[in-house]
Structure 1
């Protein structure tokens, strides 16, 4: 069995879809940071950011200029970003498909866990060995939707599949079958909860809280602004958004006492929302410095707004892909992350 705690990617990479978002790594990759950055400040209106501004913001986050330009180029080739050129200046924004994926993914990432009805969603799939890329895409999609592998081709989730999540699985067609019911255990065999490494997940919660709690007093005091505010807000989203994918609202009554899901979510919200205004101000300033005209549509959303569901508008003449996918339904993204 593959532990869901060993996730190599949250966003699909090799899926047979029009958009392939960057695979997750142990740290924050330039492509992952770029997606989180754009989702955090442009998702609502799919605002275009000057490419030079994106490079500048990524450079402030520790990415080299060459690495930033490469990340933008690769994301454009993968269908995550679409470019626009006016004169000598170029700009980029999220494609409708990427924005739709991130909007719903972000919503699920920050949504509080719903009450559990005691039933599990069980998804079985069978794909030929010759369809390795499609198989990887499905597995990545299922992880992003909060499923974990109980066995290789049998995945489970405590949450029911919403309509948008079903839409995300539609491309895989007859290769999957979904059931929902109660576990008949305890014997024989494995419990659905065994699909998650809860001990490792508890340590991840502890690490998140230990790393970010010391930052909170500075956030409350207004001592973080400019590049530091953008960097911290991007990093906290990029780090936190992995937790709800690993813990997709696992039933509290089945978990050890003192489970840190809610304390971690509260801490994330305080930092993410507390830095929103200062981070947005800096992103606007950097965008303006690299553009001949005003850059409309830049806006930092709050956790509550993200949970309520941000629209992902299509460009003129385009039809946005139905938002679907992440988390318990997700978003993230990261946004997210990602983010």
Structure 2
């Protein structure tokens, strides 16, 4: 997963600093026909501060791993994906759609806490660790050893994972509208105690800062070049992933208001709409990166964002 520095660049005229791994840039530039134009790749990587040597080494590794085949030489080369490799940078549609529904007040919390308890022996330690990782990935927080809680209905996903790990017999699911932890019973206070809300909010603040910078650049009279647009898209996708992956998508009723996540997602949607409107690939006739297509399809499936 890509990460962002804790502070943006000091230069108010430049884009907020976003660290994007070279491999992720290659994945982001895979076009609808499964190819990556090496010239485009080197140009975008250069705009992101990467050297040609970094790009060459990354291509070499990806080819050695069997993820791409390499045709031609240098900037005139073409990379051809052997399989779909864009999953590391594209969002989970159902997850993101739920986030936007919450932002628009279309997924009100019913006041129910969803709890998951398990007692898995040391002999099945790898399965136990995998179940814990899955619970955290699904937004559940540890209450105490072997007990996790979520504000969302994720039982079906947890039970499916427990079955895959062959530990379903050791997992108990229950719900409560009367949860108390360490003397805390107020739902927002519980949420603040159980989830790292400050860190999650900071990630969304960084995403919002980047999205606003991109919107400002796209609104300038001198339209950004095609490579600049692609660079914005790669940065935006990386920052969106960085903000969303650790977000448990707690209902707004449990969060401080205004919540930075809703603001960041609104700006991100507006930015993708502006990038699509700029339409460099539509003008040149070149195949669009799958990243563009997947985000456009996602935005078409969510409630209309407010400007």
Task: Report the TM-score range of the alignment, normalised by the length of the smaller protein.
Answer: 0.5 to 0.7
Residues 147-202 of structure 1: per-residue CA shift (max 9 Å, x gap): 34344544333222386786666543317736251242335466762321223333
User: Given the alignment, which residue of 175, 186, 201 partners 1:181?
Assistant: 175
Residues 13-72 of structure 1: per-residue CA shift (max 9 Å, x gap): xxxxxxxxxx4444332233434x14xx64xx5723245643443233222223223334
Structure-1-length-normalised TM-score = 0.61
User: Given the alignment, which residue of 106, 111, 119 partners 1:118?
Assistant: 111
Query: What is the SS of the residue equivalent to 2:245?
Result: helix
How far does residue 268 in structure 1 lie from its aligned partner after superposition? 0.8
Higher relative contact order (CA 8 A, sep 6+): 1
Q: Does 1:200 pair with 2:192?
A: no
Between the aligned partners of 1:279 and 1:138, the Cα distance in structure 2 is: 43
Query: What is the SS of the residue equivalent to 1:66?
Result: helix
CA 83–118 in structure 1, closer or farther in 2 if over 3 Å, else same: same
Q: Does 1:108 pair with 2:95?
A: yes
Moved more, 231-240 or 188-197: 188-197
Between the aligned partners of 2:120 and 2:54, the Cα distance in structure 1 is: 36
How many residues were matched structurally?
A: 271
Corresponding residue for residue 93 of structure 1: 81
Moved more, 256-265 or 56-65: 56-65
CA 56–197 in structure 1, closer or farther in 2 if over 3 Å, else same: same
Corresponding residue for residue 259 of structure 1: 259
Corresponding residue for residue 242 of structure 1: 242
Residues 276 and 302 in structure 1, CA contact (< 8 A), matched pair in contact too: no
Residues 121 and 159 in structure 1, CA contact (< 8 A), matched pair in contact too: yes
Q: Select the structure that is richer in helix.
A: 2
Equivalence map 1:1-339=2 (5 Å): 23-26=1-4, 27-35=19-27, 37-38=28-29, 42=31, 45=32, 47-50=34-37, 53-74=40-61, 82-84=67-69, 91-93=79-81, 95-96=83-84, 105-109=92-96, 111=98, 112=100, 113=102, 114-124=107-117, 140-151=133-144, 153-161=146-154, 171-174=164-167, 177=171, 179-188=173-182, 193=191, 194-221=193-220, 223-278=223-278, 281=281, 300-301=292-293, 303=295, 305-306=297-298
Query: What is the SS of the residue equivalent to 1:117?
Result: coil
Residues 90 and 237 in structure 2, CA contact (< 8 A), matched pair in contact too: no
Over aligned residue pairs, what C-alpha RMSD do you find? Answer: 4.2
Between the aligned partners of 1:283 and 1:299, the Cα distance in structure 2 is: 17
Residues 120 and 159 in structure 1, CA contact (< 8 A), matched pair in contact too: yes
- Gaps of at least 5 residues in structure 1 are 1-22, 289-294, 310-339
Residues 250-299 of structure 1: per-residue CA shift (max 9 Å, x gap): 121122232232221110111122113546529978xx6xxxxxx68757
Between the aligned partners of 2:114 and 2:274, the Cα distance in structure 1 is: 36
Residues 119 and 180 in structure 1, CA contact (< 8 A), matched pair in contact too: no
Structure-2-length-normalised TM-score = 0.66
CA 254–226 in structure 1, closer or farther in 2 if over 3 Å, else same: same
Query: What is the SS of the residue equivalent to 2:55?
Result: helix
Corresponding residue for residue 12 of structure 2: none
Residues 123 and 177 in structure 1, CA contact (< 8 A), matched pair in contact too: yes
Residues 123 and 179 in structure 1, CA contact (< 8 A), matched pair in contact too: yes
Query: What is the SS of the residue equivalent to 1:91?
Result: strand
